[in-house]
């Protein structure tokens, strides 16, 4: 279920006021459930902390989360396509992050640099791009579910209702870590080449190597300001490019695409694998070869995560706990 812009703004204001008053909330926690959902027996209440690159780090108890504006949504019950669904209720993940105030640089569409790593007990972590959640861009919201089919969950659970299945579900959420990715552009070593970095690892894929990868064609449409644009993009998928660079990606992986002008936008491979949002490294647009690759995020409302003249992709794995 989508939350309209007015309601999201209200939610962010309410959350911000709550976060400022919270400080360190008492951790009166409860025994968390295993992967099976739906138990209503409460022992001690768990807490969810929000930290990282934020202005206001906060800790919420379950009661405090329950006191915030709630949304109702349909969520997949299993980790396989076509599994049955539940009707869940909970709090917007985007609203919680915005209330904490990510520390953004002065840059165009700076919120598109933000990554959100949701951690649960047993070391399960999933990373999302804030741009995927934002209604102006990906419009693919995620929630901390607090109840399922009218029954309280033993602990908050990350749920992404629009996903094909529940692979990005995180039971027993206890931490949300906000990252802001601020890589600087490199100089392309050759025309059309793409530099890929993960920590100390650097690999350059030349224009010839990129062109040799299996290509897909996407017919995309999005808003640029108030005007609509439609294009035909051809190139390898983001996943194919990461594999060609010998990088392993998972549901905790984020990728920051860096344009030659320093523009940055983040995506996650999980958006394509589970969220049904194709991610392409386009080499040709409308029948014309591009001088540098372009990141294409099919399905976004606005084109802010379409990054032209990409010279570098910086890859990371969530945020260390």
Q: Structure tokens of 34?
A: 């295993």
Same domain, 71 and 94: yes
- DSSP E strands in the chain: the ranges are 47-52, 58-61, 71-76, 85-92, 114-120, 125-129, 143-148, 151-159, 173-180, 194-198, 201-205, 216-224, 227-235, 253-259, 264-267, 279-285, 288-297, 310-317
pLDDT at 81: 60
Same domain, 239 and 161: no
Q: Can you tell me which residue has the tokens 């204001």?
A: 13
- In whole angstroms, how far apart are CA 9 and each of 38, 148, 155, 283, 312? 30, 25, 26, 38, 34
Instruction: For 35-71, give one letter per residue: b (16+ CB within 10 A) or e.
Output: eebebeeeeebbbbbbebbbeebbbbbbebbbebbeb
Residue 186, in any domain of the structure: no
- Of 17-26, 79-88, 161-170, the least confident: 17-26
pLDDT at 156: 98
H-type helices in 255-306, by residue range? 269-273
pLDDT at 6: 39
- In whole angstroms, how far apart are CA 198 and each of 67, 149, 242, 253, 269? 40, 42, 10, 10, 15
pLDDT at 29: 33
- In whole angstroms, how far apart are CA 77 and each of 87, 153, 245, 309, 310? 10, 14, 35, 40, 38
Same domain, 142 and 207: no
Convert the pLDDT of each residue in 284-308 to its tens digit: 999 999 999 999 999 999 999 999 9
Residue 189, in any domain of the structure: no
Query: How much of the chain, in percent, has pLDDT values that exceed 70?
Result: 84
- For residue 262, the tally of other CB atoms under 10 A from its CB is 13
Tell me if 107 sits within 8 A of 273, measured CB to CB: no
Q: Structure tokens of 5?
A: 């812009």
Convert the pLDDT of each residue in 56-112 to its tens digit: 999 999 999 999 999 999 987 766 666 678 899 999 999 999 999 999 999 999 999
Same domain, 204 and 310: yes
Boundary of a domain, candidates 128, 152, 180: 180
> 219: part of which helix (H) or strand (E)?
strand 216-224
Residue 188, in any domain of the structure: no
Tell me if 118 sits within 8 A of 125, measured CB to CB: yes
Distance in angstroms (rounded) separating the CA atoms of residues 244 and 246? 5
Same domain, 303 and 257: yes
- Average pLDDT over the chain reads 87
Convert the pLDDT of each residue in 222-278 to its tens digit: 999 889 999 999 999 999 999 999 999 999 999 999 999 999 999 999 999 999 999
- Domain region containing 249: 194-317
Give 274's Cβ-side CA count (13 Å radius). 27
Same domain, 76 and 150: yes
Same domain, 112 and 38: yes
Same domain, 160 and 307: no
CATH code assigned at 10: 3.90.420.10
Residue 161 pairs in a beta bridge with: none
* 257 burial via Cβ count (<10 Å: 0-12, 13-18, 19+): buried
pLDDT at 3: 39
Residue 281, in any domain of the structure: yes
Boundary of a domain, candidates 152, 180, 208: 180
Number of domains into which the chain is organized: 2
Boundary of a domain, candidates 153, 180, 207: 180
Averaged pLDDT, 206-211: 98
Same domain, 214 and 280: yes
H-type helices in 134-268, by residue range? 207-212, 238-244
Distance in angstroms (rounded) separating the CA atoms of residues 156 and 146? 5
Averaged pLDDT, 29-43: 39
Q: Structure tokens of 316?
A: 């990371």
Q: Which position has the higher pLDDT, 206 or 85?
A: 206
Same domain, 138 and 99: yes
Same domain, 175 and 206: no
Q: What is the pTM of this model?
A: 0.85
């Amino acid at each position: 279920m989508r939350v309209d812009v007015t309601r999201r703004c209200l939610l962010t204001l309410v959350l911000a006021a709550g976060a400022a008053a919270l400080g360190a909330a008492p951790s009166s926690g409860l025994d968390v459930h295993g992967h099976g959902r739906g138990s209503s027996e409460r022992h001690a209440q768990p807490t969810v902390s929000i930290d990282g690159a934020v202005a206001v780090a906060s800790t919420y108890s379950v009661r405090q989360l329950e006191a915030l504006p709630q949304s109702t949504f349909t969520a997949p019950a299993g980790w396989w396509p076509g599994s049955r669904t539940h009707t869940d209720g909970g709090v917007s993940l985007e609203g919680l992050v915005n209330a904490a105030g990510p520390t953004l640089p002065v840059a165009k569409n700076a919120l598109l640099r933000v990554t959100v790593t949701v951690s649960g007990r047993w070391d399960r972590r999933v990373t999302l791009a804030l741009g995927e959640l934002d209604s102006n861009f990906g419009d693919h919201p995620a929630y901390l579910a607090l109840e399922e089919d009218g029954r309280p969950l033993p602990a908050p659970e990350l749920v992404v209702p629009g996903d094909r299945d529940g692979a990005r579900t995180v039971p027993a959420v206890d931490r949300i870590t906000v990252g802001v990715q601020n890589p600087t552009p490199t100089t392309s070593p050759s025309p059309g080449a793409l530099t890929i970095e993960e920590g100390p690892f650097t690999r350059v894929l030349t224009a010839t190597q990129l062109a040799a990868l299996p290509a897909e064609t996407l017919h995309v449409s999005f808003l640029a300001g108030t005007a609509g644009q439609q294009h035909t993009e051809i190139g390898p998928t983001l996943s194919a490019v990461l594999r060609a660079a010998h990088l392993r990606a998972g549901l905790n992986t984020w990728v920051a695409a860096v344009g030659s002008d320093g523009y940055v936008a983040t995506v996650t491979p999980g958006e394509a694998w589970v969220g049904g949002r194709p991610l392409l490294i386009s080499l040709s647009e409308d029948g014309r070869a591009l001088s540098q690759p372009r990141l294409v995020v099919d399905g976004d409302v606005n084109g802010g995560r379409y990054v032209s003249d990409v010279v570098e992709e910086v890859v990371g794995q969530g945020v260390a706990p």
